[in-house]
Structure 1
Amino acid sequence: MSTARVVFGFGADSADPVRLLPSVQSADRLGLDHFSVSDHPYQAKYLDAYAALAFLLGRTEHISGFVNVTNLPTRPPAVLARTITTLSTMTGGRVALGMGAGGIWDRITDLGVDRLSPAAAVEAFEEAIVLIRQLSSPGPAVTFSGKHYRVNAIDPVPIAPLPIWTGSVGPRSLAATGRVADGWIPGHAADWLSERFRQSRPLVDKAAVAAGRSPADIRTIYNLAGNITAEDLPRTRDDSGRWVGGSPEQWVEELTSAVLEHGAGGFTLFTGNFGSLDERSLKVWASQIAPAVRSAVAAAD
């Protein structure tokens, strides 16, 4: 996934196995950049994220996929690195790594995972990203001795540069994103006009600069929920300021502004209720909205 190109994808509903594969194959044919699946291993209604990701990548040709976002405490990073390098090798690099520090700890501990404090969870999160990068890059055997993770003389599997996008929310994880990640997915489907974005993105940028990185190296990829309607809506945002959708023309205007005025790097479309996306909306998103936004952005350069 290019760091210059605005990427467009959609959130595939892994709680709907009947429609999951057809929707991803349709997105592949339509030319979308990526799809994502969620990772809730404590909820039986969802398919396992990485099993589903591998299956879907194996039944498509061009589209990339990622887990939005990986429930790190349930997936040891050295083994996760093997999963990711295998998927990248088998698909020609059609995979990104979405990373999260934990989230719903009451349910995570129900799986037998030891609870970490918020600070410790972020330490583990940053360590895991560093370790996965080492295990997926050229170099000698990796020996890593962190506070939370340790490996001894493990040979890396070099792959094409792996985009790592984080679902960071708190100040510590946002700073970690600035130091070691390539992209940030704002939590709670917050967008570029939200207070969450205004307060959070500067923390990412500050940490990036302190680490000797350019803030431009960390893209913002939005989980964006909304409905694509046939006609213009009187209001495209609700009383709280959250985007609700509109006609294709309204989407194009809003997303073009997000890129040109707020530096958006990409969008992952979800329905308003985060369920399965219907075929019409997927087609309009891929065939009308995405190309029109790209054209408008190119014309403004």
Structure 2
Amino acid sequence: MSVQEVVFGFGAHSGIDDGPELLRMVQQADRDGLDHFSLSDHPYIGERLDAYATIGFLLGRTQRIAGFANVTNLPTRPAPLLARTVTSLSALSGGRVVLGMGAGGLWDRISDMGVDRLSPGAAVDAFEEAIVLIKRLSGGGPPVTFQGLHYQVHEIEPSPVAAPPVWTGSVGRKSLAATGRVADGWIPGHAADWLSERYRTSRPVIDEAAAAAGRDPREIRTVFNFPGRITDRPLPATRDTDGRWIGGSVDQWVEELTDAVLEHGASGFTLFSADHGTQSSASLGRWAGEIAPAVREATAKENG
């Protein structure tokens, strides 16, 4: 089975007081060869750094690693302006940006920001429109006129810079189908992994919608948010009684992730700590220096 190049990253908190430590960890990950870092986007929380301002700052202090919001709070970031943001970041960083996209989840807080509340169905319609519009406002070409239900632009010049890859946090069936039609990757919600019921029932929806739209479903990545502990010694069980991954030794991680790629189609992993927070510097070093290279080597052999 041919597999995509596997990407490895880590997720981090972005509190106001976390800035210096966050910069240090992202720079460490950059030196150690990780592919991406991700920040959450909750603009209604005053103690958080703004996701996109922070991503821009961190990209300016690194050389190779890509950054993305996991996932962008779309209702508070109108698509035409978001297109300008991500293409500008891409131009300034040499393409080191991924556009993580969500339809919006915490609508009580989102509406507190002065944004009109949308029904779940309307929010997904706006989400799909936004992805289409952002791609049309990227990569050059003639001025764009777009008349959607939620977004309208008239004769707007697209950026000459290509749109970054779009990875979504789709959960519901309608949103999953939109991912299949217009996105480039999928991040399963609630840190669900390849052995979960959520993955088994959700990924086929993406694949069917992609095929119906004339796309190759294999081109749509599955990138897992994956919390767990990296231990010095093997654990007697790497999953809990509910089947969720707990963690284990480096060898246990390598075996699990290699199987995820070769047998279940995984093409990326974003590491979080067991409590879904930022990993320690030591664990991040083992993730980048021991686990990721071993999985890359094992899966590259399969590609031959």
Equivalence for 2:97: 95
Once the 2 structures are TM-superposed, how far is the Cα of residue 170 of structure 1 from its aligned partner?
A: 0.3
Equivalence for 2:149: 147
Normalising by structure 1, we get a TM-score of 0.98
Equivalence for 1:66: 68
Please give the alpha-carbon distance, in whole angstroms, between the structure 2 residues aligned to 1:159 and 1:199.
36
Once the 2 structures are TM-superposed, how far is the Cα of residue 277 of structure 1 from its aligned partner?
A: 1.6
* Aligned AA (2:277): G
Within a 5 Å distance, the mapping from 1:20-59 to structure 2 comes to 20-59=22-61
Equivalence for 1:213: 215
Local SS of the residue matching 1:144: strand
Local SS of the residue matching 1:234: coil
Once the 2 structures are TM-superposed, how far is the Cα of residue 158 of structure 1 from its aligned partner?
A: 2.2
Please give the alpha-carbon distance, in whole angstroms, between the structure 1 residues aligned to 2:161 and 2:34.
23
Please give the alpha-carbon distance, in whole angstroms, between the structure 2 residues aligned to 1:190 and 1:178.
18
Local SS of the residue matching 2:239: coil
Once the 2 structures are TM-superposed, how far is the Cα of residue 161 of structure 1 from its aligned partner?
A: 5.0
* Aligned AA (1:68): N
Contact 2:79 2:133 (C-alpha < 8 Å) held by counterparts: yes
Please give the alpha-carbon distance, in whole angstroms, between the structure 2 residues aligned to 1:163 and 1:86.
14
Once the 2 structures are TM-superposed, how far is the Cα of residue 159 of structure 1 from its aligned partner?
A: 1.8
Please give the alpha-carbon distance, in whole angstroms, between the structure 2 residues aligned to 1:37 and 1:289.
22
Please give the alpha-carbon distance, in whole angstroms, between the structure 2 residues aligned to 1:67 and 1:177.
17
Q: Among 247, 255, 258, which residue is 2:257 paired with?
A: 255
Please give the alpha-carbon distance, in whole angstroms, between the structure 2 residues aligned to 1:300 and 1:60.
32
Within a 5 Å distance, the mapping from 1:118-267 to structure 2 comes to 118-160=120-162, 162-267=164-269
Identity %: 67
Local SS of the residue matching 1:83: helix
Q: Among 81, 89, 108, which residue is 1:79 paired with?
A: 81
Please give the alpha-carbon distance, in whole angstroms, between the structure 2 residues aligned to 1:297 and 1:84.
31
Please give the alpha-carbon distance, in whole angstroms, between the structure 2 residues aligned to 1:14 and 1:201.
30
**After superposition, what is the alpha-carbon deviation per residue over 1:146-193, rounded to whole angstroms, capped at 9, x for unaligned?**
000001111001224521000000001000000000000000000000
* Aligned AA (2:183): A
Contact 2:87 2:162 (C-alpha < 8 Å) held by counterparts: no
Q: Is residue 8 of structure 2 the alignment partner of residue 5 of structure 1? A: no
Equivalence for 1:273: 275
RMSD: 1.0
Once the 2 structures are TM-superposed, how far is the Cα of residue 13 of structure 1 from its aligned partner?
A: 1.6
Q: Is residue 101 of structure 2 the alignment partner of residue 107 of structure 1? A: no
Contact 2:87 2:163 (C-alpha < 8 Å) held by counterparts: no
Please give the alpha-carbon distance, in whole angstroms, between the structure 2 residues aligned to 1:222 and 1:56.
22
Once the 2 structures are TM-superposed, how far is the Cα of residue 45 of structure 1 from its aligned partner?
A: 2.6
* Aligned AA (1:11): G
* Aligned AA (1:10): F
Contact 1:19 1:276 (C-alpha < 8 Å) held by counterparts: no
Local SS of the residue matching 1:256: helix
Gap runs ≥5 in structure 1: none
Please give the alpha-carbon distance, in whole angstroms, between the structure 2 residues aligned to 1:168 and 1:64.
21
Please give the alpha-carbon distance, in whole angstroms, between the structure 1 residues aligned to 2:169 and 2:47.
22
Local SS of the residue matching 1:66: strand
Please give the alpha-carbon distance, in whole angstroms, between the structure 1 residues aligned to 2:4 and 2:256.
19
Normalising by structure 2, we get a TM-score of 0.97
Local SS of the residue matching 2:207: helix
